[in-house]
Structure 1
Amino acid sequence: MPGEVLFEFVQMGQVMRVAAIDEVTGTEVFVITPVNASRLHMQRLAHAKLMKKLGEPEPVAEPKKPGKYA
């Protein structure tokens, strides 16, 4: 069972290196994202990669509401 997830952000030019670390196991993964991506998007991407590595099931995405272009 994963514990609290810690995030580390390091900007390297036009990209951001985002590390996600499981506090309990010490397992760490990282992703590279565009520096202009939202911080929330960066965290979600890194968190999803960490959960996959830890063997946790991915959360079910909420269905999109039908709209004009759906």
Structure 2
Amino acid sequence: MAGHPVEVYFEFVPLGRQVKVVAIDAASGVEVSIVAPAGASQRDMETIALRKLTKRLTDLAEGA
């Protein structure tokens, strides 16, 4: 199922007026991060991080 994470862990780290969001694929351990405004909704931050993680997994599966 490369490119489509089944179980993802999210970590939220406040950085002043921003939040660093780390998305980790449980199966492979691949992780990506984004930085978002602290006022953004958690759901929006998770959606963006998940899209980035999916893209990264797809790239790895394709050998990029």
Q: Under a length normalisation based on structure 1, what TM-score does the superposition of the two structures give?
A: 0.76
Q: Which runs of 5+ in 2 are unaligned?
A: 60-64
Structure of higher RCO (CA pairs closer than 8 Å, 6+ residues apart): 2
Q: Cα offset for 1:3?
A: 3.0
User: Which of 30, 35, 40 is the aligned partner of 2:38?
Assistant: 35
Percent identical pairs in the alignment equals 45
Query: What's the secondary structure of 1:24's corresponding residue?
Result: coil
Q: Cα offset for 1:8?
A: 0.2
Q: Which runs of 5+ in 1 are unaligned?
A: 57-70
Which segments of structure 1 move beyond 3 Å, counting only runs of 4 or more? none
Output one character per residue of 1:6-55: Cα deviation in whole Å (capped at 9) or x when no partner.
00000000000000000000000000000000000000000000000001
Equivalent pairs, count: 56
Q: Under a length normalisation based on structure 2, what TM-score does the superposition of the two structures give?
A: 0.83
User: Which of 20, 24, 33 is the aligned partner of 2:23?
Assistant: 20
* Structure 1 residue aligned with 2:62: none
